[in-house]
Amino acid sequence: MSTDTTDSTLAQLGWKAFFSDQLSAEQRLECQPVRVLSVHRGRVTVLGEGFEDSIASTLPTPGGPEDRPTVGDWLLIDRATRSLVRILDRTSLFKRPAPGDDRRVQLIAANVDTLFIVTSCNEDFNVARIERYLVLAREVGARPVVVLTKADLTATPERFVAEARALQAGLHVEVLDGRDPAQAARLAGYCGLGETVALVGSSGVGKSTLVNTLRGSDSIATQAVRADDGKGRHTTTVREMHRLGGGVNGGGWLVDTPGMRELQMADVATGVTEVFDDVTAVALECRFTNCSHLDAPGCAIGAAIAEGTLDPARVQRWRKLAREDGENSGPPGLRRSRKQGGKRR
Ligand SMILES: Nc1nc2c(ncn2[C@@H]2O[C@H](COP(=O)(O)OP(=O)(O)OP(=O)(O)O)[C@@H](O)[C@H]2O)c(=O)[nH]1
Ligand SMILES: [Mg+2]
Ligand SMILES: [Zn+2]
C-alpha cells in the first residue's frame, strides 16, 4: 500500500508492509485494518484510522488454538458491518501453556518487537526465571531487554546487572528506579514510533509503574508489595496496550501484562538451544548418543564442568528447561500431565 509511510495514524499503530502485503485487492476496498488494544470476554477493543471501538472477537471460521485475537494483533474488519473478517499473520506471537490446563494455550501478545523482562533488585531476581523469558524471546524473535527495577532499594545494583549480563553475550540490561521519569527515559529508545514493547515479569516488580512513568501518567493502578514476603498482589488483571507520547517518550506502544505465577515452556526447543548455546555446543561434542549428560563417565558435559568451562548450575537449569519442553510439547493428547510430570514453580 502506498499509504504505508505517509499514513501517520497507521504507522503510529505499528502498521508495516508485512501486514499490508497480506491484503487482497478486494480486502483493500472493503476492509479496514485495526489493532487490538485489549481483549475482554468475547470482545476486543480496537483502534484504527479514525476508529476506536469494541467489537465481537468471533472469527467467521474459527480454526486452531491460535486463531483468536490477542493484544497487539492486526485485524481486518468489514467497513460496512464492522465485523471481524480475519486476523492478519503475526510477526511474532508470545504464548504459553495455559496454567492448570494442558490442552489450552494462552496467547500473551502478538506483533511485539521488544520484550522488557522486568525483575527487581531484590528477592524476585532469579537467573532461572530470566533465562525462561530469554528462551521465550528467542523463540518468537523479539529483542529481549532485561529491566531491573527498584535499584533504589539496593546498595549493590551492579551485582544484579553483572549476573544478568552474564546470561547472554550482548544482552541489553537496564537498571533503574522505575518511578523516576529521568531514569525511565533511558528505556524510551526501545519504543520508538510504531514499535511495540511487551512488559513481562512477576507480580509486584513494577511493570505498571514503568508504563505510568514512561507515559507521564498515573492512570494504571499499582499496589505496594506484601510487607511479609515482598510478593506482588496481582494488581494488573488484563493485558492492554498503552500509547506513549511522542518526543522523548518514543511514540511507541507498551503492552502491560498481569504478573505471572509460573512460566511453563512448550515448543521452545530452538529457544532453549540458542539461549544455552554454550551448553548445547558441548552436548553436541558428547560421544554418547542419547546421553542424559548427568553422570556418565566420559560425558563431555561432565568433563566441561570438571574443567570449569561450564557452570554446573547453568547446566542444571538447561536440563530442566529442555526436559520441560519435551514434556509440554507436541500434540495436546500426547502431552504428559504437568501435575505428574514435575512440580510447579
Ligand atoms: N522503591 C521502588 N518501588 C517501586 C519501583 N518500581 C515499582 N515500585 C513499587 O512496587 C509496587 C508494585 O508495582 P506495580 O507497578 O504495581 O507492579 P506490577 O509489576 O505491575 O505488578 P502486577 O500488576 O501485580 O503484575 C508499587 O508499590 C510501586 O510503587 C522502583 O523502582 N523502586
Ligand atoms: Mg501491574
Ligand atoms: Zn553426555
Query: What is the average per-residue pLDDT within 267-278?
Result: 91
Q: Tell how far the Cα of 302 is from the centroid of ligand 3, in angstroms.
A: 7
Q: Is the pLDDT of residue 256 over 50?
A: yes
Ligand minimally distant from the alpha carbon of residue 280: 3
Q: How far apart are CA 100 and CA 109, in angstroms?
A: 20
Is the distance from the beta carbon of residue 213 to the nearest atom of ligand 1 less than 6 Å? no
- Same domain? For 240 and 292 the reply is no
Q: In this model, does residue 157 exceed pLDDT 50?
A: yes
Let me know if residue 94 belongs to a domain. no
- pLDDT confidence tier of residue 180, bands split at 50, 70 and 90: very high
146 with 217, same domain: the answer is yes
Q: Has residue 203 got a pLDDT over 60?
A: yes
- pLDDT over 50 (residue 128): yes
Is residue 150 within 6 Å of ligand 1 at its C-beta?
A: yes
| Ligand 1: residue whose CA is nearest its atom 26 | 224
Residue nearest (by alpha carbon) to ligand 1 atom 30: 150
Asked if 157 and 290 touch (Cβ cutoff 8 Å), the reply is no
Please indicate, yes or no, whether residues 57 and 152 belong to a single structural domain of this protein.
Answer: no
- 230 shares its domain with 325: no
Ligand 2 centroid from CA 299, angstroms: 45
CATH code where residue 186 lies: 3.40.50.300
232 lines ligand 1 (CB under 6 A): yes
Ligand nearest to the CA of 212: 1
Q: Which pairing describes strands 84-87 and 74-78: parallel, antiparallel, or unpaired?
A: antiparallel
What pTM value is reported for the model? 0.88
Measure 128 CA to ligand 3 centroid, in angstroms.
Answer: 22
Q: How confident is the model at residue 250 (pLDDT cuts 50, 70, 90)?
A: low
What's the 253 CA to ligand 1 centre distance in angstroms? Answer: 19
Residue 132 in contact with ligand 1 by CB distance below 6 A: no
Looking at residue 6, what is its pLDDT? 38
Whether the predicted pLDDT of 136 surpasses 90: yes
CB of 224 closer than 6 angstroms to any ligand 1 atom = yes
Lowest model confidence (mean pLDDT) among 3-12, 18-27, 60-69, 170-179: 3-12
Residues 157, 184 within the same domain: yes
Tell me the average pLDDT across 219-247.
87
How far is the centre of ligand 1, averaged over its atoms, from the C-alpha of 239 (Å)?
16
- Any atom of ligand 1 within 6 Å of the Cβ of 212: no
Output the domain CATH number for residue 67.
Answer: 2.30.30.140
CA of residue 296 to ligand 3 center, whole Å: 7
Predicted pLDDT of residue 337: 43
Spacing, Cα 176 to ligand 3 middle (Å): 41
CATH at residue 310: 1.10.40.50
Digit-coded pLDDT (tens) for 3-38? 333 345 898 899 999 999 999 999 999 999 999 999
Same domain, 147 and 227: yes
Q: Which ligand 1 atom sits closest to the C-alpha of 177?
A: 31
Average pLDDT, the chain: 88
pLDDT at 65: 81
Residue 25 sits in which domain range?
3-89
Contact 117 CB / ligand 1 (< 6 Å): no
Lowest-pLDDT choice from 17-21, 50-54, 63-67, 235-239: 63-67
Which pLDDT score, from 0 to 100, does residue 266 have? 81
**Residue 102 falls within a domain, yes or no?**
no
- What confidence category does residue 246 fall into, taking pLDDT thresholds of 50, 70 and 90? low
Is the pLDDT score of 247 beyond 60? no
Residues 120 and 252 in one domain: yes
Residue nearest to atom 27 of ligand 1 (CA): 224
Query: At residue 117, does pLDDT exceed 70?
Result: yes
**268 in a domain, yes or no?**
no
pLDDT exceeds 90 at position 98: no
Q: Which pLDDT does position 104 carry in this prediction? A: 80
Could you tell me if 246 and 127 lie in one domain?
A: yes
The pLDDT of residue 298 is above 80: yes
- Asked whether residue 344 carries a pLDDT value surpassing 70, the answer given is no
As for how many domains the chain has, the answer is 3
pLDDT for 325 beyond 90: no
Q: What is the 3-state secondary structure (H, E, C) of the chain?
A: CCCCCCCHHHHHCCCCHHHHCCCCHHHHHHEEEEEEEEEECCEEEEEECCEEEEEECCCCCCCCCCCCCCCCCEEEEECCCCCEEEECCCCCEEEEECCCCCCCEEEEEECCCEEEEEEECCCCCCHHHHHHHHHHHHHHCCEEEEEEECHHHCCCHHHHHHHHHCCCCCCEEEECCCCCHHHHHHHHHHCCCCCEEEEECCCCCCHHHHHHHHHCCCCCCCCCCCCCCCCCCCCCCCCEEEECCCHHHCCCEEEECCCCCCCCCCCCHHHHHHHCHHHHHHHHHCCCCCCCCCCCCCCHHHHHHHHCCCCHHHHHHHHHHHHHHHHHCCCHHHCCCHHHHCCCC
What would the mean pLDDT of 92-113 be, rounded to a whole number? 86
- Average pLDDT of span 211-237: 90
Expressed in angstroms and rounded, the spacing between residue 56 Cα and the centre of ligand 2 is 26
Q: Are residues 230 and 131 in the same domain?
A: yes
